[in-house]
Structure 1
Amino acid sequence: MIFVLKVTTNKEEKVVDLIAEHVMKKTIPVYAIAHPEGLRGYIILEAQDRDSAEDACFNLPYVKGIIGKTISYEEIKNMLEVNVETVNIEEGDIVEILSDTLKKEKAKVTRIDRQKGEVVVNLLGAVVQIPVTIKMEDVKVIRRSSEAGDDDDEEMEE
């Protein structure tokens, strides 16, 4: 059975740790504890029955209570499963950085780590080429490597 616990906002991770510790100590039949991204003030707990769920969070700080109705896995599946986005960034593409201190800088992609969601880029305007690791969502493709001629790349690097 899957239950939703109401907890103090921004203390969700702390509560997950407290519940996990409490469950291990007392060997309560709790199968999973999750705090999905974007679900502030709530924790999802899978336990054998309602009594087990209540025992797991009884008298713990930051826990306000259990929401009365149990939920099915189908209702929370989209929050728990990781969606791997297909990003159309390739090595050699020219990108624009969208955030942080390098905002609006142009760079060339040298390496892609799809599992971490990161790209390693070299800034085009820099005198010394230093590889910078940036999240994929923080870059926008300006020109594809197939569109960019080799002459253009050499001119930009000089």
Structure 2
Amino acid sequence: METPKVRNYYAIKVTGGQEMGVALLLEERIKTNKIQDVFSIIVPPGLKGYVIIETNGPHAVKAIVAGIRHIKGVAQGLVPKDDIMNMVSKKPVGPVVKIGDMVEVISGPFRGMQAQVIEYREGKGEVVLNILESAFPLQVTIPVDQVKPAKKS
């Protein structure tokens, strides 16, 4: 029976804004050199200037990052798995709204208007609103992060 391999996460310092390009170059190098020890390449949203590589050890990291443009180096130590999970896990988007709630639109063409929630599509992150300040019944579908609960007066 084969013993399970240890998986560690290493942070690679890259030029800010070049994270996705570097990740694609790393992927190409792994494929062309048939490196088996790399399990994933993670470009964490919201963490500028870093790419995370999941591998068995530092030997694989050194082998794939050598000579690639925009890589500044390898950060000291390992990145804890909990930190990786926090970076890539899905977070709730926008305010919590229920059908019948009064909301204010905070961006887009209906900005500043009062509306009532008719439908909340949690899977899509959208709300269907009935705009109250229009001359005729107007229903619009917008992302939930574009509304906030209306102030109670």
| 1:85 CA displacement | 6.4
CA distance in 2, matches of 1:132, 1:72: 40
Q: After TM superposition, give the deviation of residue 11 of structure 1 in Å.
A: 1.4
Offset at 1:92? 2.8
- Give the helix-richer structure, 1 or 2: 1
Q: How many residues of Structure 1 are paired with residues of Structure 2 in the alignment?
A: 143
Please say if 1:70 is aligned against 2:62: no
What is the CA-CA distance between 1:6 and the residue it aligns to? 0.5
- TM-score, normalization by structure 1: 0.76
- The answer for unaligned runs of 5 or more in structure 2 is 1-7
The letter for the 1-side match of 2:141 is: V
Q: Give yes or no for contact 1:7–1:41 (8 Å, CA) kept in 2.
A: yes
Cα deviation, 1:98-157, whole Å, max 9, x if unaligned, reads 1233221112223222233222323222336242322x232112289xxxxxxxxxxxxx
Shift of 1:86: 9.2
Q: Does 1:3 align with 2:10?
A: yes
Distance in 2 (alpha carbons) for counterparts of 1:118 and 1:55: 45
Deviates most, 72-81 or 41-50? 72-81
Rate the CA distance shift 1:72–1:88 in 2: closer, same or farther, 3 A.
closer
The Cα RMSD (Å) is 2.5
**Equivalent residue, structure 2, for 1:101:** 109
CA distance in 2, matches of 1:19, 1:111: 44
- Overall identity of the aligned pairs, in %: 27
> Aligned residue for 1:57?
65
**For structure 1, which runs of at least 5 residues remain unmatched after alignment?**
145-158
Give how far 1:61 is off: 2.2
Q: What residue number does 1:114 align with?
A: 122
Report runs of 4+ in structure 1 exceeding 6 Å deviation.
none
Q: Does 1:18 align with 2:25?
A: yes
Structure 1 counterpart of 2:69, one-letter code? P
